[in-house]
């Protein structure tokens, strides 16, 4: 047990920042990120993810003089590696994306491990929170740490894995209110890691038997949800052919006590749209070709093109010329009331509409125009467009859209398609 915990959080995104703030309330904590602009904006009290308020952030921040004086608690933010070299507990919260071929991209994890390896000391603990397939922590990250540091695993340094369960935009199920799965590379270290998280997690922790179990538990959480949504997406396609309202069917079925209330839609985001590929990749390495997991992912990946085609059908019925038509897309983030645009499947909708020759305008009051431009090379607006459109498609159910005067945006009998099923009679069609 470390007598004096000095914690370094690697990565200050949706996962790392809330974690750093909570640990900073009790321990001497340094939040590190390679993005200079991100660190500087956080020092000014602004979190573009909107997960942490200015007040909450400023109440825990300390300056360089205070961190040098070995203050007992507080959060110092930095993009200099030297500022984390005195930590004895490193927590890695970097992203684990997929590449263009839907294969796991462990590059951010590799770079973070290499960086830590250069400053790793005897007795240190490295905890990974990034979502991975079973075995990554001990079979991929550990050798990197050993090779660069020259230290021996479970003799000189130790590992842990505690999967993140952050739900971006959720102000009720925040980090301290979500039960935390923990694990460690030895029984003693596992208990120490569990105790560390217990000190900030109100709802408690669950100590998994080993690191691989904790890794597997995380990756199946989102895979299970992905498969369930794929099922109702397929139902929506079937019921559309049968001229039956999917929402009506789901409401009727939900009257049974054990019916799972999943809804159809676009399945994006950094977790659900990515994690199944990590598990499928690991299974393939052992000679097993996933059937259910990948079929569900393929179906969900197809939904962007499907809903775009449904809007086009409505426009054709309304007598609208498709080429050079003006279409308004309401929402670009991957979920409602949240600025997160990572792996948003609205991109597929926009791409398909453009393939038809339409001119697409994207209105999203939550999304950062700069981030959307950087990630997807698309222009967006944060204000209601002053124009008329030949077709409108609601892809994200931001609160701002629920009472939006759609008639003032319609060019004549322009149809409205509702992906989220929240517009009621305002929509001419819905998923």
Question: Using CA atoms, how far apart are residues 66 and 57, in angstroms rounded to an integer?
Answer: 16
Between the CA of residue 373 and those of 336, 367, 370, 385, 394, what are the distances in Å? Answer: 20, 10, 5, 18, 20
Maximum pairwise Cα distance, the chain: 74
CA angle 307, 219, 272 (to 5 degrees): 15
* Residue whose C-alpha is closest to residue 166's, from 308, 338, 32, 33: 338
Q: Is 271 noted as a catalytic residue in this protein?
A: yes
Question: Using CA atoms, how far apart are residues 143 and 277, in angstroms rounded to an integer?
Answer: 23
Phi (first) and psi of residue 51, to 5 degrees: -80, -35
Question: Using CA atoms, how far apart are residues 83 and 86, in angstroms rounded to an integer?
Answer: 7
- Choosing from 87, 116, 196, 271, the catalytic residue is 271
Q: What does the DSSP assignment read for 299-351?
A: HHHTHHHHHHHHHHHHHHHTT---TT-EEEEE--SSSTT----TT-THHHHHH
Pairing of strands 326-330, 391-394: parallel
Q: Where are the beta strands (DSSP E) in 196-244?
A: 205-207
Q: Phi-psi region for residue 29, left (φ > 0), alpha (ψ -120 to 50) or beta? A: beta
Catalytically active residues, by annotation: 271
């Amino acid at each position: 047990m470390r007598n004096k915990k000095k914690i370094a959080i690697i990565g200050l995104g949706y996962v790392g920042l809330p974690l750093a703030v909570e640990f900073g309330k009790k321990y001497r904590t340094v939040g590190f990120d390679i993005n200079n602009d991100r660190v500087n904006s956080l020092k000014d009290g602004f979190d573009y993810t909107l997960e942490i308020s200015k007040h909450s952030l400023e109440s825990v921040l300390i300056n360089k003089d205070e961190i040098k004086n070995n203050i007992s608690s507080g959060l110092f933010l930095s993009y200099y590696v030297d500022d984390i070299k005195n930590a004895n507990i490193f927590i890695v919260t970097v992203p684990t994306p997929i590449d263009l071929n839907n294969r796991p991209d462990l590059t951010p994890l590799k770079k973070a491990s290499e960086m830590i390896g250069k400053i790793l000391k005897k007795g240190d603990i490295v905890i990974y929170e990034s979502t991975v397939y079973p075995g990554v922590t001990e079979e991929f990250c550990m050798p990197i740490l050993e090779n660069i540091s020259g230290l021996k695993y479970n003799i000189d340094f130790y590992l842990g894995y505690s999967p993140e369960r952050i739900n971006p935009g959720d102000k009720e199920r925040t980090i301290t209110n979500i039960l935390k799965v923990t694990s460690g590379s030895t029984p003693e270290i596992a208990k120490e890691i569990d105790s560390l998280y217990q000190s900030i997690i109100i709802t408690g922790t669950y100590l998994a038997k080993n690191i691989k179990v904790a890794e597997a538990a995380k990756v199946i959480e989102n895979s299970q949800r992905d498969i369930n949504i794929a099922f109702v997406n397929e139902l929506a396609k079937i019921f559309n052919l049968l001229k039956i309202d999917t929402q009506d069917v789901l409401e009727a079925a939900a009257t049974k006590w054990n019916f799972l209330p999943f809804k159809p839609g676009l399945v994006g985001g950094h977790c659900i749209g990515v994690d199944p590929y990590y598990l499928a990749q690991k299974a393939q390495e052992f000679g097993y070709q996933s059937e259910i997991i990948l079929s569900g992912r393929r179906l969900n990946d197809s939904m962007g093109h499907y809903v775009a085609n449904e809007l086009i059908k409505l426009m054709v019925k309304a007598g609208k010329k498709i080429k050079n038509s003006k279409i308004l897309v309401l929402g670009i983030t991957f979920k409602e009331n949240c600025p997160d645009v990572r792996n948003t499947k609205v991109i597929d909708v926009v791409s398909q509409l453009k393939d038809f020759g339409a001119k697409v305008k994207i209105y999203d009051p939550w999304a950062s125009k700069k981030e959307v431009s950087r990630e997807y090379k698309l222009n967006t607006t944060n204000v209601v467009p002053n124009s008329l459109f030949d077709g409108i498609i609601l892809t994200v159910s931001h609160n701002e859209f629920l009472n939006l005067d759609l008639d003032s945006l319609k060019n004549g009998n322009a149809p409205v398609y509702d992906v989220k099923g929240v517009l009621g009679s305002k929509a001419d069609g819905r998923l």
